[in-house]
Amino acid sequence: MTAADQKRYLVTGGAGFIGSHMTEHMLGLGRSVTVLDNFATGKRENLDQALAAVGGDAASRLEVVEGCITNPDDVARACEGVSGIVHLAALPSVVRSVEAPVESHHHNVTGAVHVLDAARQRGLKVVYAGSSSAYGDQDTDFKHEDLREDPLSPYAASKLACELYCRSFARVYGLPIVVTRFFNVFGPRQVPDSPYSGVVAAFCFALLQGRAPRIDGDGSQSRDFTYVKDVARGVTMALEAETSGCQTVNLACAGNHSVLSLFEILRSQAGVDVEPVHGPSRTGDVMHSRAAIDRIRDLIGFEPEYTFEEGLARTFDWYRVTYA
């Protein structure tokens, strides 16, 4: 057994969509994981599925702390025996942040500062789940990390505020931090039936029920859809690589798919004959979002492994089995 095998990592928000895949990936590599989650949007079933996917002795290497990142005692409890932190816990919705900006700020920013402070006190490396929403809408084919940020929603502002804290903690306390900016992550276990659901999950769910999905705007808006297993692998690579200071990198596929093309692929997988219902564009939404990924290649050698079509096929199959 190597030293890396014996490591225990803290995954905040580990019962959520991305967090449960993060946990699954790390357990699959032989690491131990402590999850800190208040189950605001996360679910115990997500962790059950992660454990079932890994099998073997995975359950004995997973500890779950039910608590809130805004409570320093909960964070301290969750940090016991860990040698690195993946910070995912947040209220991840543009719509929700427009409705309740103070609540978003509390969980996304105040909570993150508590996590960073705990890392500072223990000298722990942090990988922070940043967001492509930091870029806003900019007239450029690829969003690259040197662009000036332009958050369009309270959610985007909260995610960016936390990035600024990451930069300052790296400078002031010498903490190694990697900010991985995610771009429209999709895959199994994403909540499909909430007003805050991601577009892939919501479309799969509607089509499996034979309903027409709702498209905000004309559907020409495009996204760099990233399969969740690529995200889990990229974040783990970032945590385990030797890095210094605060490094900010896009973690995505450099792809460009319109919401309308997403609908068409999923409609053909579902084999139903429905047309989407178009509604008004959403406040705070960006039109086009495509990542440049040279920096993450250079930093940790990350390459996406899943194509958009392959990820969608796996995702649709999961929703078919789970909800049909």
Q: Which are the catalytic amino acids?
A: 155
161 vs 81, 128, 319, CA distance in Å?
A: 28, 12, 34
What are the residues whose beta carbons fall under 8 Å from the beta carbon of 284, sequence distance 6 or more? Answer: 94, 95, 97, 98, 152, 153, 154, 155, 156
Q: Please tell me whether residue 243 binds ligand NAD under the rule CB under 6 A.
A: no
Residue with tokens 């993450």: 296
Residue ranges of alpha helices (H) inside the chain are 17-28, 44-54, 72-78, 94-99, 101-105, 111-122, 154-173, 199-208, 228-240, 259-270, 294-300, 308-323
65-104 residues near ligand NAD, rule: CB under 6 A: 68-70, 88-92
The CA distance from 107 to 90, in Å, is: 6
Q: How far is the CB of 13 from ligand NAD (least distance, A)?
A: 3
**For residues 129 and 270, which CB has a smaller minimum distance to ligand NAD in the complex?**
129
292 near ligand NAD, rule: CB under 6 A: no
Interaction of residue 284 with ligand NAD, rule CB under 6 A: no
Size of the site for ligand NAD (CB under 6 A): 30
* Closest distance of CB 3 from ligand NAD, Å: 28
Piece of 10-18, 199-207, 213-221, 234-242 that binds ligand NAD (CB under 6 A): 10-18
CA dihedral 319, 320, 321, 323 (to 10 degrees): 70
Q: Candidates 9-17, 26-34, 235-243, 296-304 — which segment interacts with ligand NAD by CB under 6 A? A: 9-17
Q: Show contacts with ligand NAD in window 136-175 (CB under 6 A).
A: 159
Q: Mapping DSSP to helix (H, G, I), strand (E, B) and coil, where does residue 15 land?
A: coil
Question: Which of the ranges 30-38, 143-151, 208-216, 288-296 carries the binding residues for ligand NAD, by CB under 6 A?
Answer: 30-38
Among 9, 182, 227, 308, binds ligand NAD (CB under 6 A): 182
Read off the tokens for 150. 């332009």
Interaction site with ligand NAD (CB under 6 A): 13, 15-19, 36-42, 68-70, 88-92, 107, 111, 129, 131, 159, 182, 184-185, 198
